[in-house]
Structure 1
Amino acid sequence: MKKPSAMKLHAAAILIVFWLGIFTIDTVKGSIGSQPMRKFSCVNLSTQQLNIRKLVSYEKREVPVEAIMFITTKGIKICVSPKEKWVQTAMKKIDEKRTRGK
């Protein structure tokens, strides 16, 4: 029996390393891509009163601070204190729009 030449072993080793590299990259990309995106969290609260007509939605946030996150017609997310009177009014108006739309 003939022994495989050093050149053939070298080529086989390169192919194995190449395929392992491709497999590893594909696996890493898949695991990162399958993770859910982090939710937007409120760290700073805006003190400015917003135009209620430009608000389309809101979400209640409790971590890291208690806040209401308003979403504008342009998709901008702004966090405000839930204790402000205008915030309560805006939330009611958005809720009314939602119930009328159904």
Structure 2
Amino acid sequence: MKSQCFSAVLLLWLLAFSTASQDGIVKTSCLTTSDTKIPQRFLDSYTMQEPPLFSVRAVRFRTTKGATICSDPTSLWAIKSMNYLDGKKKKKSHPV
């Protein structure tokens, strides 16, 4: 029983502190959010992190240089940036 409990806690810990992205790169979770704002053209992608798996609700932006910016998903900059990236993604999948 202790072994099963330990395994469950270990699995939850691993899920909380790292997630695998689509391109196979492991990213750590955001422990806090920041007010960092960069031009949207330097953003490559984003992922959401939500409780209960993560302690902080955040949007993780990946920059074209591979850096991660942890933002409050309710901030105006984050919302506009997610919309920008979603629009960019739609253009790639539906060329005219």
Bigger proportion of residues as helix = 1
SS at match of 1:87: helix
SS at match of 1:56: strand
Bigger proportion of residues as strand = 2
Instruction: Tell me the TM-score normalized by structure 2.
Output: 0.64
Indicate the percent of aligned positions where both proteins have the same amino acid.
Answer: 34
- Matches of 1:51 and 1:44 in 2, distance apart? 21
* CA shift for structure 1 position 49: 1.7
For structure 1, which runs of at least 5 residues remain unmatched after alignment?
A: 1-37
- Matches of 1:47 and 1:98 in 2, distance apart? 24
* CA shift for structure 1 position 48: 2.1
Q: Is residue 74 from structure 1 mapped to residue 62 from structure 2 by the alignment? A: no
Instruction: Tell me the TM-score normalized by structure 1.
Output: 0.60
The number of equivalent residue pairs is: 68
- Matches of 2:38 and 2:55 in 1, distance apart? 22
Once the two structures are superposed, the pairs formed by residues 7-18 of structure 1 within 5 Å of their partners are none
The structure having more radius of gyration, on CA atoms, is 1
The CA RMSD over aligned residues, in Å, is 2.1
Which deviates more from structure 2 when the two are superposed, residues 73-82 or residues 47-56?
A: 47-56
Moved over 6 A (4+): none
